[in-house]
Structure 1
Amino acid sequence: MLCWGELASGSGQNPCSPSEEILKGERVQHVCSREGVTVFVLENGKVYTRARGWKRKSKPGNFHHFKEQKIHFADSGSSHILFLSKVGSLYCSQVNSRQLETQAKEFPILKPQLLKGLSDRKIIQVACGNNHSLALTKDSQIFAWGQNTYGQLGVGMDNVSQHSPQSVISLMGMPVAQIAAGGDHSFALSLSGTVFGWGRNNHGQLGLKDTEGRQKPSHVKLLDCKKVVHIACGEEHTAVLTKDGLVFTFGAGSYGQLGHNSTEDETKPHLVGYLFGKKASQIACGSYHTLVFIPSSGKIYSFGCGEKGQLGNRETKDQLVPLPVNIMDMVNKNGNGHTTKSVVRRIFAGGDQSFAACSRAVDLVSSTDQSALNTLRQTTTVGKLLKQELNKITKKAIIQAFSSPQALCGSFLDVRKDGHFKTNGVTSGLDLSAMYLSFLNLPKTLNLQVKNAVQNNLIPSLPQSPTCVETLRVYIIIPELIAVLDKSEDSATLLESLNRSILSLEDSYFKILERWWCTMPYYFFLRLVRMYQKESHRLLQLTMTGASKSNPQLHNSLKILQTLYQVNLSRDSKISVRNCYIPVMKMLKDSLTVLQQLVPYPCIFDLETKLELLNLESIILKKNILQPILRLCVSRMSIFQDGLQELRRIQSAAYYAAVEVRFKGEPCYGPGVSQEFFTLFTQELYNNKRIFKLKKSSELLWFPNREPEIDNAFYLVGILCGLAVSNGFICTFHFPLALYKKLLSVPPTLEDLKELSPTLGTSLQGVLDYEYDDIETILCHDFTVNKKTADGKIIQQELIPDGSKIPVQKHNRKQYVDAVVDYKLNTSVKKQFEAFSRGFRSCYSLPVVDTFLPEELRDVIQGSTRYEWELLEQNARYFEYQNTDRAVRNFWQVFESLPEEKKKRFLAFLSGTERIPAGGIQNYCIKILKSRTDEPDSSYPRAYTCTMSLELPNYSSIEILREKLLHAIEFSEEFNAQPP
């Protein structure tokens, strides 16, 4: 063991020389030094101490108080020393500081006492500040006690000192790898490299970009994803080491202890650039100096205060940049007369002293092992426990692990390419495959005990707003455990407890969980969704068989299932939405109350169920109004104007009624006539330039950025659209998907603008795809768009404040594209769309329409164009005909031979519209009736649009059938018209 700096030597040696060798032949486990007291812990558990002024002894003496206990680790404060035994017990010795300043006869380190406040816990790490202490338990809990003047205990309590250990509650659930303490500040490091600091911060030693102290642990976000594996603290500065061998420092820099060639303070972590290219494996901090060990060269670098020679540069001046310590290779002779070269094994620093433990064998310590060597016993992960032979000790350890969120969150880490170090708001850092395989090894005899441990101990301990994001891993792990539990009742009660905990999370943490679900591998996400679908189905059945129709467990399960459904929409590898469906209509036909309660969870409804719910809502509304029929009377010569005028005259309460349209001068009325009205109205709307604007490139209608020439036109068209939906009619409005997204509060995207305006959309896509720095000179865009005023002038419309002064560059091109999309589809038509939406919503009092996806709502309103013609024949029904009759077979043969457009015209002839209802042609049932005419060959097929029935004469040949059918289709413009 080599040491240099403020030595307790009276030999007259140069204190600047690092040549003093002590404890020769002993393997030193750890060294701590502060305020003139140095403690050496050997690997064999013995303790040696050296104190300033104690009988002028220069050599460490045996600390005889530990005759029976073997010590693993020690750390010292200004007036106390903590000793950690190899069995996890913690002892504390007081230091008589007065005796350090005099040639006292009595030894200044008093007899150690067992720390009773932690006597019932296994301690694996300790750390001391000047006047405060930290302890880490085997189950990853941090305890703090001592002075709290600056909040260095991390327990709040308004700077009140604590004489007994207090739990640092805000870090509950975090798998802790290391604790560290400086003068009056503290740190905790998670297994995945997340750093938390608290306490004094007058020089920025917490790395939080300011100098304000913290009474509770605060996340040092600037160190995220840096793969931090060790933290060392000085009096007012901090150094961190990453797995890649990089060193970051921050805090006080007045002596150069940050190594940045400056005496300025740093309030945020700053890379020690002078060590570039040198991969460090160890760091250590004295009060105002720092040591770094580079294993590839075997050199120790030092920087900071050198007043006591602690830098090992044979001088007593400060050093602002890292320079090698002048340690000469020590050459010794072994018993055979051969020479062996000693190498540095470990480095230590404390106060104004520095130490290097050397070894004759090549026994270097890696960057990931430095914290581990200071730890008595690493927490055994669940995965390792489940691989061990099952005995009484292993069983107890397994149950304890499943009772602790810290133990569970520190298990199953993704070590491939250091994946768990990337844990953040997007990825959990877990290896789900390893987790699942480990749970398969869970003995079935322990299922119930494990389930109870998780449900009764682990879940109740989870915080609503965890300080560390790694704590959220339990919400990924527990469902995987549930998947392998045998008994459904065990998994059900556990899942219910888990659901309550998930839904109690603060919104920001719930959002993180959503993002983790979004990046979860396909198979695991699919299993998670199926788990909640199965549980929701089970709870729904229980609700129906029970006396109460209200089931909070059901709603909790459905809330999470609905969230997973929404998450799936954003996933790259989407699962089928069918995995969420529950056959609710088969279960709840007679329970309208429960059905209405399920409306907030549309993920469980397939399209058929949504349509049934929509129809059910319409029936309910129609029953509760005084006038159940809304009659509209229009002229065929002025359908558009008459339709709007009729809507103006009726009161809003009538919008819930059943629509019945009559054409002036015509006796017929019914669903077929009403459908024809909606078809003709939308045709005229498409050709009318006074309301909507026709985009020629897409042949779609959109709102103009001006007021319409017809009063309340958008509001009235919105009403008509709502009436069509509530009455089951099809309106071919030729609107883009963006309109239906907006009706359902789904933000439109660039893809929607591409559909509406292909040229503009493609141009904007080109802006996004252009990744070169010369985009400003090539495109010459700023944050403006052209706008046509009412008088026909073209002006520049700014997309953001001062947009005309902001050029589109590489870094802001996405912001520009998003701004254009927002302006074109939202801002520029805000007033017009709101009027349309208000009219549409006036036809509904229940939110059933919100259960639809935008694509589904579009098909409900505009009808579907996904034709599967073979299903039309399969679903047909016959009256006085058989499907084997010659006339029927001839009809389908002719129909199959028709071109696509003629087939569509046949649908219009039969139903009043070329579109088919949402849900597809499989729900489209036509009826073929036998005509009773005496002269079939001279008759034409006749359509009854009210019932979608075709009256088909029994023609003598297929040729005559073809001729008559085509003629009838051509003359289907007027309802019930007969060809001449």
Structure 2
Amino acid sequence: MLCWGNASFGQLGLGGIDEEIVLEPRKSDFFINKKVRDVGCGLRHTVFVLDDGTVYTCGCNDLGQLGHEKSRKKPEQVVALDAQNIVAVSCGEAHTLALNDKGQVYAWGLDSDGQLGLLGSEECIRVPRNIKSLSDIQIVQVACGYYHSLALSKASEVFCWGQNKYGQLGLGIDCKKQASPQLIKSLLGIPFMQVAAGGAHSFVLTLSGAIFGWGRNKFGQLGLNDENDRYVPNLLKSLRTQKIVYICCGEDHTAALTKEGGVFTFGAGGYGQLGHNSTSHEINPRKVFELMGSIVTQIACGRQHTSAFVPSSGRIYSFGLGGNGQLGTGSTSNRKSPFTVKGNWFPYNGQCPPDFDSEEYFCVKRIFSGGDQSFSHYSNPQNCGPPDDFRYPDPSKQIWTVNEALIQKWLSYPSGRFPVEIANEIDGTFSSSGCLNGSFLAVSNDDHYRTGTRFSGVDMNAARLLFHKLIQSDHPQISQQVAASLEKNLIPKLTSSLPDVEALRFYLTLPECPLMSDSNNFTTIAIPFGTALVNLEKAPLKVLENWWSVLEPPLFLKIVELFKEVVVHLLKLYKIGIPPSERRIFNSFLHTALKVLEILHRVNEKTGQIIQYDKFYIHEVQELIDIRNDYINWVQQQAYGMDVNHGLTELADIPVTICTYPFVFDAQAKTTLLQTDAVLQMQMAIDQAHRQNVSSLFLPVIESVNPCLILVVRRENIVGDAMEVLRKTKNIDYKKPLKVIFVGEDAVDAGGVRKEFFLLIMRELLDPKYGMFRYYEDSRLIWFSDKTFEDSDLFHLIGVICGLAIYNFTIVDLHFPLALYKKLLKKKPSLDDLKELMPDVGRSMQQLLDYPEDDVEETFCLNFTAGVC
């Protein structure tokens, strides 16, 4: 171990040396033949963790921060932790946290603001104590500010305690200091990779490089483009796309490491600790220019200085305050830009010359900084291993995520013989939305770092494969545990407001889990999941819709099919019979499933149909409900103003009408609906006519009317006669039943005459002699002619005739392409529609679009114009 900096309180652990300042790296005899796992630096004390899990401390002990009463000048073991295998430590100004391999946290030192989390009344705790309120939570990381503490759990939960003078706990402006760990609820659901703390500011880093900061911001150390303190977590937007993988904090400044090995700094720069060759403060993250030619893999912050390690040269660079020798440059001068720490540095994998004295060279393993001291764990060049790389986090310090290795671990145990810790691991993973949101990331080309409102950062194929491997295995105990965790722990905790887009991912991935498609789980998992989805606020729901819109068709169809199956399942239960006491909850369930389908259908329509519209059809509807009765109920709901756009709670009191969601009806069901609507409309028109006729008997000013729409036409002038009558007919009379009379014929129209009329008139109207339509031989379809001289009113009347035919239950043979119906629905036709009408032209246009080169004119040797009105 090499150490340098302030030694006035013995915090370098060099024993009884005369110097109070060590200006350049010096070997510590104590650590010869010892491997160091972690180092924590307080303002005037230091804590060392060895590979065997033992803890040694040295430095100032005025407030019990050493955890023992032995020598302060050299490292002494903290005997109270002798039974623990400590894996990580962190130090505040005068307090210490230690984390063992079981995820338990021990604390000692100053407790003036509750920073130990022990709920004690003592000012100082001189012997390590377990934080009992965290004993049932598996912690993987701890971080200390001067007077506050942070912890990250395996379930991606962030806890905080201690002083909150500047908002460093992230619990809000009204929150005072906390003497026990408090969950930061505003961060729930986000998959975190790291927690970090400065003097009075805090940060968390997500798996996809998003940074949230809060606390003191006097010098811009939160990087939020101002100097206002923050009392709740705020996203540092400017670094979102920079692939940040590690953060460290000084007293009032912050440094961030990117996946490419770049370094950003911001905050207080009065001593040059930002490395920008100035002493200015920076309220926005700024890249350290002089390190841009090197790949940095480790960074560390002291109180007012910063260190960086470049493995290609094996050198450590430092900048900032140097008054206590903490820069290791051989002087007490401050450095405003990166300066090489003195030492015979040797790069990993470097070539040793024949006369090389390895004892005089240092191969860096890891650097540590804090307070006004710095350390470097090193080995000799001849037996050195690769140095730590902060760009690739230690898996043991990360949250649970579903991945190939973890599933293999679970499946390696015989069925029915899971150890308790494995069951707890499965439960913890599937009880945490944060863990699921950190699973199945698109790691190829680091794509998940592009996560945003348009890209989820999820590898959906990986999600499908891993879920299938896990649930379809010969381990029913796994499926049972996963189902129980989703039902009892995960879904009930979901909220409508989410802190970040990364907290939305499991809404994409969970439908891929086979458990969701199991009818036994519809009411316990799928429907509650759908309820949470429907209840999302507008902003997160919009992001989810954006993500759905770019899914591959099979993946999008999977979600649609899931909720179609849920609807069918519920309708079958309804047909069997639902007890009155359960009607309300049944209504809520059915509304939920249909609302999810409605959202998916809206996305499908907005994006030009990811899947064909008929994939939303639920063919079983015709068998499971009385469509005519459903339609009548729907009409009544509309008449009484029952709004189906209410929330799900209010909808539970409104009987479900499938007609509210017409996109689920296939052609047969829609025909039934159309006929039902026509019968109702006709009956209403007839009733209105009868009422008017009755009134005319008593009030002569009211004229009697025919309850039917009568068309009297001559066969030889069928078009002219029909048009003449229809021009004079009021719109309201179109809703009456149609009766057709051919002049000179005695036949009574019981339906047959009407059908003959429509057959004859449509044949006439479509005849080329009128020039209104053009016939296309290739497709055998017709379209409007651009050379017609007919009045546009005639086209309108043709539409009226078509409408009357459908309204009066008569099928007419119209050879129009799909484009006509798109136009009626105000939807934009596509090239596929042109292909349907004009196959040759459509294919030629497609070839032009598909041609990859720039020499279009030379290759195709023609130019042409194709017109379609």
TM range (shorter): 0.7 to 0.9
After superposition, the C-alpha distances for 1:875-921 in whole angstroms (9 at most, x for unaligned) are xxxxxxxxxxxxxxxxxxxxxxxxxxxxxxxxxxxxxxxxxxxxxxx
Contact 1:245 1:367 in 2 (8 A): no
Q: How does 1:568-583 map to 2 (within 5 A)?
A: 568=604, 570=607, 574=611, 577-578=614-615, 580-583=617-620
Residues 77/190 of structure 1: CA separation in 2 closer, same or farther (3 Å cut) = same
Structure 2 partner of 1:174 = 190
Whole-Å separation in 1 of the counterparts to 2:214 and 2:722: 71
Structural mapping, 1:80-159, within 5 Å: 80-95=95-110, 110-156=126-172, 158-159=174-175
Give the Cα separation in 1 of the matches to 2:741 and 2:667.
31
> What is the CA distance between 1:474 and its match in structure 2?
2.9
Q: How many residues are paired up?
A: 749
Matched, 1:451 2:478: no
1:375 aligns with 2:375: no
2:639 aligns with none
Map 1:192-591 onto structure 2 (within 5 A).
192-329=208-345, 339=358, 341-360=361-380, 361-368=383-390, 371-372=393-394, 375=397, 383-389=407-413, 390-393=417-420, 394-425=422-453, 426-430=455-459, 431-432=462-463, 433-441=465-473, 443-483=475-515, 488-491=519-522, 493-547=524-578, 551-568=587-604, 570=607, 574=611, 577-578=614-615, 580-589=617-626
Q: Which entry has the higher C-alpha Rg, 1 or 2? A: 1
Q: Distance in 1 between matches of 2:346 and 2:482?
A: 56
**Conservation of the 8 A alpha-carbon contact between 2:89 and 2:96:** yes
Alignment CA distance shift 1:688-1:38 (3 Å): same
Cα distance between partner residues in 2 of 1:76 and 1:511? 43
- 8 Å CA contact 2:400–2:435 kept in 1: the answer is no
Q: Is the 8 A contact 1:82 1:126 kept in 2?
A: yes
Question: Is the Cα contact below 8 Å between 2:253 and 2:269 reproduced in 1?
Answer: yes
Task: Give the aligned partner of residue 93 of structure 2.
Answer: 78
Question: TM-score scaled to structure 2, two decimals?
Answer: 0.74
Q: What is the distance in 2 between the residues matched to 1:445 and 1:741?
A: 52
Asked if the contact 1:383–1:412 (Cα under 8 Å) also holds between the matched residues in 2, the reply is no
CA 1:232–1:488: 2 relative to 1, 3 Å: same
- In the aligned structure 2, how far is the partner of 1:273 from the partner of 1:751? 53
The answer to whether the Cα contact below 8 Å between 2:471 and 2:479 also exists between their aligned partners in 1 is no
Cα distance between partner residues in 1 of 2:279 and 2:813 = 74
- Any conservation in 2 of the 1:581–1:604 contact (CA below 8 Å)? yes
Determine the C-alpha separation between the residues in 1 that align with 2:538 and 2:474.
Answer: 34
Query: What's the CA shift for 1:299?
Result: 1.5
CA deviation after TM superposition for structure 1 residue 345, in Å:
0.7
CA spacing shift, 1:379–1:756, aligned 2, 3 Å: closer
Q: Is the 8 A contact 1:207 1:220 kept in 2?
A: yes
State how far apart, in whole Å, the 1-side matches of 2:433 and 2:304 are.
37
When residues 709 and 88 of structure 1 are mapped into structure 2, their CA distance, relative to the original with a 3 A threshold, is same
Alignment of 1:656 with 2:735, yes or no, is yes
Moved more, 133-142 or 109-118: 109-118
Q: Which moved more, 1:231-240 or 1:112-121?
A: 112-121
1:83 CA drift (Å): 2.3
Cα distance 1:29–1:446, how it changes in 2: closer, same or farther (>3 A)?
Answer: closer
Q: Tell me the distance in 2 between the aligned counterparts of 1:228 and 1:684.
A: 70
Tell me the SS of whatever aligns to 1:624.
Answer: helix
Unaligned runs of at least 5 residues, structure 1: 98-106, 690-697, 703-707, 773-823, 826-980
Which of these residues, 44, 48, 57, is aligned with residue 49 of structure 1?
57
* Contact 1:678-1:730 within 8 A present in 2 as well: no
Residue 6 of structure 1 deviates from its aligned partner by: 2.7
Q: Aligned residue for 2:18? A: 11
Report the Cα offset of residue 411 of structure 1. 3.6
Read off the aligned partner of 1:358 and give its amino acid letter.
Y
**Residues 370, 420 of structure 1: CA spacing in aligned structure 2 closer, same or farther, 3 A cutoff?**
closer
Indicate conservation of the 8 Å contact 2:193/2:399, yes or no: no
**What is the CA–CA distance in structure 1 between the aligned matches of 2:670 and 2:512, rounded to whole Å?**
32
For 1:771 and 1:156, the matched residues in 2 are separated by 59
Deviations 1:425-463 (A, max 9, x none): 433424222332232236114544432221111111122
Q: What amino acid does structure 2 have at the position aligned with 1:504? A: N
Contact 1:427 1:515 in 2 (8 A): no
Query: Whole-Å Cα distance in 1 between the matches of residues 208 and 711 of structure 2?
Result: 69
Once the two structures are TM-superposed, the CA of residue 346 in structure 1 deviates from its matched residue by 0.7
Equivalent residue, structure 1, for 2:807: 726
Closer, same or farther in 2 for the Cα pair 1:499/1:309, shift >3 Å? same
Whichever residue aligns with residue 529 of structure 2, its letter is: L
CA separation of 1:655 and 1:274: change in aligned 2, threshold 3 A: farther
Contact 2:247–2:256 (CA under 8 A) maintained in structure 1: yes
SS in 1 for 2:81: coil
Output the CA distance in 2 between the equivalents of 1:283 and 1:149: 28
2-structure distance, mates of 1:715, 1:255: 81
User: Are 1:601 and 2:681 matched, yes or no?
Assistant: no
Question: Which residue among 663, 667, 670 is the counterpart of 2:754?
Answer: 670
CA deviations 1:382-428 (Å, max 9, x no partner) are: 52443231423223432333323333333444444444444444334
Unaligned runs of 5+ in 2: 11-16, 63-69, 113-122, 635-656, 690-706, 748-752, 774-781, 855-867
Q: Percent identity?
A: 37
Confirm or deny: 8 A CA contact 2:298 2:310 kept in the other structure. yes
CA shift for structure 1 position 686: 8.3
1:744 matched to which residue of 2?
A: 825
Q: Does 1:27 align with 2:35?
A: yes
Q: Deviations over 1:465-500 (max 9, x none)?
A: 221333333334433333488x63245532222222
Report which stretch shifted further, 223-232 or 450-459.
223-232
Asked if 2 retains the 8 angstrom alpha-carbon contact of 1:312 and 1:326, the reply is yes
Q: TM-score w.r.t. structure 1 length?
A: 0.66
Secondary structure of 1:270's counterpart equals strand
Give the distance between the partners of 2:498 and 2:723, measured in 1 at CA. 57
Conserved? CA contact 2:156–2:191, under 8 Å? yes
Residue 357 of structure 1 aligns with an amino acid whose one-letter code is H
Q: Is the 2:783–2:816 Cα contact (8 Å) retained in structure 1? A: no
Q: Is 1:154–1:199's contact at 8 Å kept on the other side of the alignment? A: yes
Please list the CA deviations of residues 626-656 of structure 1 after superposition, one character each: whole Å capped at 9, or x if unmatched.
Answer: 2553234578999889777755654443333
Alpha-carbon distance between aligned partners in 2 of 1:306 and 1:680, rounded to the nearest angstrom: 98
Q: 1:131 to 1:647 in 2, by over 3 A?
A: farther
**For 1:772-921, what aligned pairs fall within 5 Å after superposition?**
none
Paired residue type of 1:559: K
Contact 2:93/2:146, CA 8 A, preserved across alignment: yes
Alpha-carbon distance in 2 for matches of 1:375, 1:41: 15
Q: Is the 8 A contact 2:314 2:346 kept in 1?
A: no
Asked whether the equivalents of residues 260 and 273 of structure 1 are also in contact (C-alpha less than 8 Å), the reply is: yes
CA contact (8 A) 2:24 2:341 kept: no
Structure 1 residues 527 and 646, CA gap change in structure 2 (3 angstroms): same
Residue 282 (structure 1) shift: 1.3
How much does 1:134 deviate? 0.9
Check conservation: 1:174, 1:468, Cα contact below 8 A: yes
More displaced stretch, 514-523 vs 398-407: 514-523
Compute the RMSD of aligned alpha carbons. 4.7
